[in-house]
Amino acid sequence: MLFFLYLGDGILSDWVPSFIQGSTKSSITMGLIISFSSVVGFLADLVFPGLLKKLKTKKLMLMAIGTSLLFCGILLWMIAWPILLLFLFSMAVWGLYYEFLGFGSQQFVSESVPLQSRSGVWAIMGVFRSLAYFLGPIIGSYVALSIGNSETVWVAVASVIVGLLIWLSWGKRNTNYATEITKERFLIWQEVKRWKTLSVHVWPILVISVVMGIVDATFWTTGTVLSDSMARDNWLGGMFLPAYMLPMVFVGIIVAKWGIYRGKKKIAETFMLVALVSLLSGAALSIAWPMTEAVYSDITERMGYEGKHMMGLSSSTLSLAYIIGPVMAGGIAQLVGERLTFSVMGILMALVALILLIVTPRKLRLPQSEIQAWD
């Protein structure tokens, strides 16, 4: 299911930034519009832990699929009417899709996977994600250049519907994830206070997520524009994004076989440092990402009933990265061009990784008594 859902998103992630930049004629404007999806996502991260507290994997994934299909419908409308209002509306729905998908994935791992297997499970999920995002830009570029924009969106719709059918079929045999939504009083300022409490204790892993997210956002905004422009000159140029994703397919299998459940934070920081310094971004980040996600799953499981707050905080780091990343990348690209943008990002990420390796504690400790008093 995840493969087909990610494949549809991979097709659109390659096409949408190029379409928006082609319509607005500005890389900075494109970055600002793309960032709006993460602004909505960040706000959702504040609200969802309370609203979705009793909601588990099955329904969260159905919500993700539903918002993905809604996003595709708005894109078809946007092609006919490429105006700012529709750009922002589509980005808002896209942001909600990522939040539902992120919450659903974290819920699945934290409630279903034992501690020793979490980094491996995240790596295997990453293999299917990476394979989808490897194929997505190839399919998207081919359809967009040879057939048309609307057809690109319809191919993505078909892929998401296949994922939906698989999920519904699986749901008939597995009903233990269904649960009712309970109404409860929820205030955003309370969630901000809880995030502050958690951030004091888990800030190193939050910084890792933000920095890696900024790099990923750079590839999927400025990188898509660069890839598409290179593809028009030579079809091999269109392999820029797929080349970034391909190592993650194979390295993820290796990470799964390692079965690492200790020292995940240091491993993530080390390979984040290696990522752009050695120009092996895809391979290095494919090790850092599952380690980071496994740390979040560990913390979520330790928090028990209150784990959704950690899900919201961890998801907010990616939202924050995709607010900062597209605008930063667009601004740098405007000054030095798309190619040199990746060199600048590499230097920044290397500096952050070096600092984190020095200051990160061996174990992240939670204020359990305070967490238990939240309700």
pLDDT for res 9: 95
Give the residue-averaged pLDDT of 24-43.
Answer: 88
Q: Which of 154-168, 190-204, 258-272, 339-353 has the lowest mean pLDDT?
A: 258-272
Q: What is the DSSP letter of 116?
A: G
**CATH number reported for the structural domain that contains residue 276 in this entry:** 1.20.1250.20
Buried b (16+ CB within 10 A) or exposed e, 322-357: bbbbbbbbbbbbeeeebeebbebbbeebbebbeebe
> Could you list the residue range(s) of the whole structural domain that residue 121 is in?
2-372
pLDDT for res 149: 93
Q: Which tens digits make up the pLDDT trace of 171-212?
A: 555 544 433 434 455 567 888 888 888 888 888 888 888 888
pLDDT for res 277: 37
pLDDT for res 86: 93
pLDDT for res 62: 92
Say yes or no to pLDDT of 240 above 80. Answer: no
Residue 303's pLDDT band (boundaries 50, 70, 90)? confident
pLDDT for res 217: 82
Is the pLDDT higher at 159 or at 197? 159
pLDDT for res 47: 84
Based on DSSP, count helices (H) and strands (E) in the chain, helices before strands: 14, 0
Q: How many domains does the chain have?
A: 1
Residue 231's pLDDT band (boundaries 50, 70, 90)? low
Q: Which tens digits make up the pLDDT trace of 341-369?
A: 877 887 887 788 888 888 877 777 777 77
> Nearest to residue 253, comparing CAs of 111, 123, 342, 71?
123
pLDDT for res 232: 66
Give the residue-averaged pLDDT of 221-241.
Answer: 68
Residue 335's pLDDT band (boundaries 50, 70, 90)? confident
Q: Which of 298-302, 319-323, 339-343 has the highest mean pLDDT?
A: 319-323
Q: Which of 41-45, 134-138, 157-161, 330-334 has the lowest mean pLDDT?
A: 330-334
Neighbours of 276 (CB within 10 A): 23
Q: Cα–Cα distances in Å, from 1 out to 36, 62, 93, 252? A: 27, 11, 20, 18
pLDDT for res 142: 87
Q: What is the mean pLDDT of the chain?
A: 80
pLDDT for res 180: 41
Percent of the chain scoring above 90 in pLDDT = 22
